[in-house]
C-alpha cells in the first residue's frame, strides 16, 4: 500500500527516516519518494514506521492512500510566515544588544537583549535537541547547533552565539523554500492526474471518479478539460494540447475514429470517447507511476553521500572534542577558552546537510526537467548512466523510420494478376497487427471474409502461413519462401518486399515503402557530436533496404534480415566485442518484439507514442513523442545534472575544509563557521535548482 508522510518537508529528515526504516530486518529496500514524500509499505509495518517518523520528525503522520485515481496525494509545502516573524524579532533584539554594548553605563541590560534574541530564534532548535537526546539521537544537527551556541555563550561570545542561531534559522528557511520549489516543480507533473470524468449514462452526463469508468463506456470531454482515460473518439473533432505529456507545444487535431490518450487537454470542440483502457492502465497513470517512482532508484553519488554522511558528523565531533582537550594540555600557553572556541567552530560545520540535501535534489531536478521535455527517465541511476554513452543501437522500423507503410507497387507472375496477389496477401494478413499487414489490408480496400481462412500461423519476423479458400498460402519475407523450398526471384529495390506463394508456387510480390523520420539524420549527427563512438542499426528488412537506409543516415554498422531473437544475439555480440568498454550501450526500439533487447542493453530506450506497452515497461528511458532528437537531449540533461552534482560536492566539502583549517589556526570565527554550514548548504541547494532548467538546454 502507498502511504503519505504528511507534514514532512525536510529532505534531510526524509533520508534519516528512510535509513531507520531500512534497519528493520523485514524492510530492506524501502525508498521515500521525494516528489510526494510517500512510500510503499505493507500495512503491518505502518505502526513501526510511524514511530520512526515520530522520533525523527515529530508532527509527521503516515496516511494511507487507498486508491490510485483522482483523489490521491497532494504535497504540503513549507510556509515560512512564523519563521520570518521569529527571525525579524530576533534580529531587532540582536541589533539592540549590539548598540547597548557600546554604552558602558547601561550595564548588564544588553545581556537581556542577547538572551531574548537567542531564545526567540533558538528555542525550537533547543527543544528539538532535548527531545532527540531523550530518544537516543545525539548526533543531530539540532543538538550540535545547540551545543555550539551554548558553548559560545559560556566563553562570553554572546553576539556570535545569537548570530549563529539567527543565521542558522534564516538559512534553514531559505533552504527549505528552495527545496520545496524544486519539489513543487516536479509535483506539477501530478496535475496530469484527472480529477473526474464526464460519464454518459442514459443520455445524461454524470461526473464520476475516473477509477469508476469501465472499458467500453462513453465519456464526454468539454472544451478546456483534461482527457481522463485512453479511448477512441466516436463523435466530434478538436485540437488537443499534449505538451504536458510529450513536451510538444504544437496542438494536434483529433476526430472521429482516432485514438486519444489520457492527460491531453481538449481545445475548443466537444468530444465523445469510447474508453479503451481502465484508469490504472491508461497513459496518464503509467506516466505518473514512472515519474513518482523515478526518485526511488538512486545514483551511485547519492548512495555514496548517504554512507559518507553517516560517518562525517561523527568524525568532526570527535575532532572537535580532541581540539578542545589536547592542545591546552600539551601546548605551552594554550588557553582552554581559545581551543574550546575553535572546537565549537568545528561543531557548527559538522552537519552534512549541504551534501545530503543538494545531491538528491540535483538528480531530482534533472529527472523533472527531462519529464517536462517529454523524456521519462526511470531513476537517478539511469540518468547517471546516460552521461557516458559509447554505442547506440537503433531498431529500424518505427524507430528511425516513420513506421507508416504504403503499398507502392505489385508484381504478379505465373498467370496471376495484381488484384489477385493483393487479395491473397490481404487475406493472409487479416489477423496480424504488424504495421505492414495493416498497410496491405488498407491497400485492398474491399471486404475480407474471415470464413475463408482455415489453419493460420504467424511466424514471428518472417510472415504468415495459412490455408485460404482451401489453398496453402505464404506471405512474408524471402527467407520464408526459401525455408519452404519455393523458387522465386529475390528483389533488390529499396523498401520492404512481401512475397506471396500459393500451393507451393511463387505468384508475385508487393513493394512496401517506409520513410525515414525527418529528424533521424540530424539526431545521429548530434549523438556523434556528443561523443558517441558508434551508431549501429538492426533491421528485420532485407539487406538492400537496410543498406540504403544506413547509407542515408551515415550509420557505422548495419545488420539486416534479423529475427527478434537474432537482435538479442547481435546485441550480446556487440557488447562482447569491447569487453573493457567504459561507456554505456543504448538500444532504441519501439515494438513488442524489441522488449527482450531493451532489457539486455545497458540502457533501453522506448519510443513512447508508437511504442507497445511491453517495450515501455522493459525500457529505462521513454521518449514520449517518438522524436529521436529527444535522445541527444536526454544525454545533455544527464551531463548537466552530473556537472551540478560534482559542483555541489566540491563546493560543500571545499568550504567546510577551508573553514576547518582556518578554525584550527584560530583565524576563523563562528561567522565563517555558520556560512560553512548553512551558507554552503543554501548555495548547494540553489545550485541544484539549476537542473530544473536543464530541459531548456
Catalytic residue numbers, as ranges: 395
616: exposed, middle or buried (Cβ count in 10 Å: 0-12, 13-18, 19+)? buried
In order, the DSSP letters of 410-470 are: EEE-TT--HHHHHHHHHHHTTT--SHHHHHHHHHH-S---GGGEEEEEEETTTEEEEEETT
Q: Please state whether 469 falls in left (phi above 0), alpha (psi between -120 and 50) or beta.
A: left
Beta-strand runs (E) in 480-583: 496-502, 505-513, 534-538, 557-559
Q: What is the pairing mode between strands 471-476 and 463-468?
A: antiparallel
CA gap 376, 331 in Å, rounded: 60
DSSP 8-state code for residue 244: H
29's enclosing H/E stretch is none
56's enclosing H/E stretch is helix 46-56
C-alpha cell at position 629: 532528437
How far from 142 is each of 125, 148, 403, 522, 593, CA to CA, in Å? 5, 10, 60, 54, 55
Crossing angle, helix 353-372 and helix 11-21, to 10 degrees? Answer: 100
How far from 289 is each of 377, 400, 516, CA to CA, in Å? 12, 28, 32
CB contact at 8 A, 468 and 454:
yes
697: exposed, middle or buried (Cβ count in 10 Å: 0-12, 13-18, 19+)? exposed
Residues 6+ apart with CB under 8 A from 598: 587, 589, 604, 605, 606, 615, 618, 619, 620
Closest among 611, 638, 612 to 625, alpha carbons compared: 611
Number of H helices, E strands in the chain: 23, 25
CB contact at 8 A, 238 and 268:
yes
How far from 290 is each of 303, 310, 372, 621, CA to CA, in Å? 21, 30, 13, 10
Residue with cell 497487427: 433
CA gap 296, 384 in Å, rounded: 14
Closest among 295, 164, 153 to 679, alpha carbons compared: 164
C-alpha cell at position 429: 494478413
Angle (CA) 437-440-442 rounded to 5° is: 110
DSSP 8-state code for residue 515: P
- Helix (H/G/I), strand (E/B), else coil: 623: strand
CB count in 10 Å sphere of residue 99: 12
Amino acid at each position: 500500500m502507498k502511504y503519505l508522510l504528511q507534514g514532512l518537508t525536510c529532505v534531510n529528515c526524509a533520508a534519516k527516516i528512510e535509513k531507520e526504516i531500512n534497519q528493520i530486518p523485514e524492510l530492506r529496500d524501502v525508498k521515500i519518494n521525494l516528489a510526494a514524500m510517500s512510500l510503499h509499505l505493507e500495512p503491518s509495518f505502518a505502526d513501526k514506521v510511524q514511530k520512526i517518523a515520530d522520533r525523527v520528525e515529530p508532527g509527521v503522520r503516515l496516511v494511507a492512500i487507498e486508491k490510485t485515481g483522482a483523489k490521491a496525494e497532494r504535497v504540503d509545502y513549507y510556509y515560512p510566515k512564523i519563521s520570518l516573524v521569529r527571525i525579524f524579532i530576533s534580529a531587532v533584539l540582536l541589533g539592540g544588544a549590539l548598540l547597548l554594548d557600546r554604552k558602558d553605563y547601561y550595564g548588564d541590560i544588553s545581556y537581556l537583549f542577547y538572551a531574548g534574541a537567542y531564545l526567540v530564534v533558538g528555542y525550537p532548535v533547543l527543544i528539538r535537541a532535548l527531545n532527540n537526546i531523550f530518544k537516543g539521537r545525539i548526533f543531530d544537527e539540532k543538538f550540535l547547533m545547540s551545543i555550539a551556541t551554548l558553548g559560545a555563550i559560556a566563553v562570553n561570545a554572546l553576539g556570535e552565539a545569537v548570530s549563529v542561531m539567527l543565521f542558522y534559522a534564516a538559512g534553514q528557511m531559505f533552504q527549505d523554500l528552495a527545496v520545496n520549489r524544486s519539489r513543487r516543480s516536479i509535483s506539477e507533473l501530478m496535475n496530469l492526474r484527472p480529477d473526474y470524468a464526464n460519464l454518459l449514462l442514459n443520455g445524461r452526463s454524470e461526473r464520476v471518479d475516473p477509477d469508476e469508468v469501465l472499458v467500453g463506456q462513453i465519456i464526454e470531454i468539454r472544451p478546456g478539460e483534461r482527457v481522463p482515460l485512453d479511448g477512441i473518439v466516436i463523435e466530434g473533432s478538436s485540437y488537443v494540447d499534449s505538451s504536458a505529456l510529450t513536451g510538444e507545444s504544437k496542438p494536434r487535431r483529433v476526430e472521429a475514429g482516432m485514438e486519444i490518450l489520457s492527460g491531453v487537454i481538449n481545445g475548443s470542440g466537444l468530444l465523445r470517447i469510447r474508453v479503451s483502457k481502465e484508469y490504472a492502465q491508461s497513459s496518464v497513470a503509467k506516466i505518473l507511476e514512472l515519474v513518482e517512482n523515478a526518485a526511488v532508484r538512486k545514483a551511485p553519488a547519492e548512495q555514496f553521500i548517504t554512507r559518507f554522511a553517516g560517518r562525517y558528523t561523527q568524525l568532526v565531533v570527535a575532532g572537535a572534542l580532541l581540539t578542545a582537550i589536547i592542545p591546552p594540555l600539551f601546548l605551552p600557553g594554550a588557553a582552554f577558552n581559545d581551543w574550546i572556541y575553535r572546537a565549537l567552530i568545528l561543531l557548527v560545520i559538522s552537519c552534512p546537510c549541504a551534501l545530503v540535501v543538494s545531491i538528491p535534489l540535483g538528480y531530482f531536478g534533472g529527472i523533472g526537467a527531462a519529464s517536462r521535455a517529454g523524456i521519462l527517465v526511470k531513476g537517478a541511476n539511469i540518468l547517471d548512466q546516460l552521461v557516458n554513452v559509447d554505442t547506440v543501437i537503433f531498431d529500424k522500423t518505427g524507430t528511425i523510420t516513420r513506421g507508416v507503410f504504403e503499398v507502392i507497387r505489385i508484381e504478379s507472375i505465373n498467370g496471376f494478376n495484381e488484384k489477385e496477389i493483393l487479395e491473397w496477401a490481404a487475406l493472409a494478413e487479416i489477423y496480424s497487427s504488424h504495421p505492414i499487414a495493416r498497410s496491405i489490408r488498407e491497400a485492398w480496400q474491399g471486404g475480407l471474409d474471415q470464413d475463408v481462412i482455415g489453419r493460420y500461423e504467424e511466424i514471428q519476423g518472417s510472415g504468415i502461413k495459412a490455408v485460404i479458400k482451401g489453398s496453402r498460402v505464404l506471405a512474408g519475407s524471402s527467407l520464408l519462401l526459401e525455408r519452404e523450398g519455393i523458387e522465386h526471384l529475390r528483389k533488390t529495390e529499396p523498401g520492404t518486399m512481401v512475397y506471396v506463394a500459393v500451393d507451393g508456387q511463387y505468384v508475385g510480390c508487393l513493394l512496401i515503402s517506409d520513410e525515414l523520420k525527418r529528424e533521424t539524420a540530424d539526431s545521429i549527427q548530434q549523438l556523434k557530436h556528443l561523443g558517441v563512438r558508434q551508431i549501429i542499426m538492426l533491421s528485420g528488412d532485407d539487406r538492400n533496404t537496410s543498406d540504403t537506409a544506413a547509407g542515408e543516415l551515415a550509420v557505422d554498422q548495419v545488420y539486416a534480415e534479423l529475427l527478434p531473437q537474432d537482435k538479442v544475439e547481435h546485441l550480446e555480440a556487440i557488447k562482447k566485442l569491447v569487453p573493457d568498454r567504459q561507456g554505456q550501450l543504448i538500444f532504441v526500439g519501439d515494438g513488442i518484439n524489441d522488449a527482450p533487447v531493451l532489457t539486455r542493453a545497458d540502457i533501453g530506450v522506448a519510443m513512447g507514442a508508437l511504442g507497445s506497452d511491453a517495450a515501455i515497461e522493459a525500457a529505462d528511458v521513454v521518449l514520449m513523442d517518438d522524436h529521436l532528437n529527444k535522445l541527444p537531449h536526454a544525454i545533455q540533461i544527464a551531463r548537466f545534472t552530473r556537472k551540478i552534482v560534482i559542483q555541489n560536492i566540491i563546493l560543500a566539502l571545499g568550504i567546510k575544509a577551508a573553514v576547518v583549517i582556518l578554525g584550527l589556526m584560530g583565524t576563523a570565527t563562528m561567522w565563517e563557521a555558520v556560512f560553512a554550514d548553512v551558507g554552503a548548504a543554501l548555495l548547494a541547494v540553489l545550485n541544484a535548482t539549476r537542473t530544473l532548467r536543464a530541459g531548456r538546454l
